[in-house]
């Protein structure tokens, strides 16, 4: 089932999401629906708060296809950063250049409760950072300068 995407400034986007303690049938269904929702909207990443569920789940479009990461955490984030353009399904038509770590190591669980470890760089590393930020209520508009924010203020009102 394709879920409704919560758009900025919906307050759920600012809430800190809760850890998943047990992978229940409801969680499995949510993961399935999130993958469908991401693909339908041609996104490369999606977090549970964006579909109205304050839980620590993200879907990332990996080279092997959309994959779920449950309770994802960074184990490494490179000091080296790079600028790159990002969009967000909660901010239609807004694209911003954001500085992110070049390389990350993410650990998480998959839908079967198995441990996952992913080393990512470039766009994939960027997607992980954008989506894990969502779980802490952090949005990509928080990462731009004050002057950049003033420039996009009118655009934000129209989102």
135 binds Co ion (CB under 5 A): no
Stretch that binds Co ion, among 9-17, 28-36, 72-80, 87-95 (CB under 5 A): 87-95
**Which residue lies nearer to Co ion by CB, 23 or 94?**
94
**Residue whose beta carbon is closest to Co ion:** 88
> What's the CA dihedral at 48, 97, 74, 122 to 10 degrees?
110
Nearest of 77, 94, 73 to residue 152 by alpha carbon: 94
**By CB under 5 A, residue 88 contacts Co ion:** yes
Q: Single out the residue of 44, 55, 61 nearest to residue 15, CA to CA.
A: 55
Would you call 142 helix, strand, or coil by DSSP?
helix
Interaction between residue 46 and Co ion (CB under 5 A): no
Q: How far is the CB of 19 from Co ion (least distance, A)?
A: 20
Distance of alpha carbon 95 from its chain centroid, rounded?
A: 15
Q: Which stretch binds Co ion (CB under 5 A): 5-13, 82-90, 105-113, 147-155?
A: 82-90
């Amino acid at each position: 089932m394709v879920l409704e995407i919560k758009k900025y400034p919906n307050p759920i986007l600012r809430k800190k999401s809760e850890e998943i303690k047990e992978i229940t049938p409801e969680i499995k269904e949510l993961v399935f629906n999130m993958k469908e929702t991401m693909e339908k909207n041609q996104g490369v990443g999606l977090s549970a708060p964006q579909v109205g569920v304050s839980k620590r789940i993200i879907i990332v479009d990996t080279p092997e296809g959309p994959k779920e990461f449950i309770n994802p955490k960074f184990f490494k984030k490179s000091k080296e950063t790079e600028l790159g353009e990002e969009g967000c399904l909660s901010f239609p038509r807004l694209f911003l250049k954001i500085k992110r770590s070049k390389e990350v190591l993410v650990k998480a669980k998959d839908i079967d409760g198995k441990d996952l470890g992913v080393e990512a760089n470039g766009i994939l590393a960027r997607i992980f950072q954008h989506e894990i930020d969502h779980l802490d209520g952090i949005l990509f508009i928080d990462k731009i300068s004050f002057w950049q924010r003033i420039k996009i203020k009118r655009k934000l009102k129209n989102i």
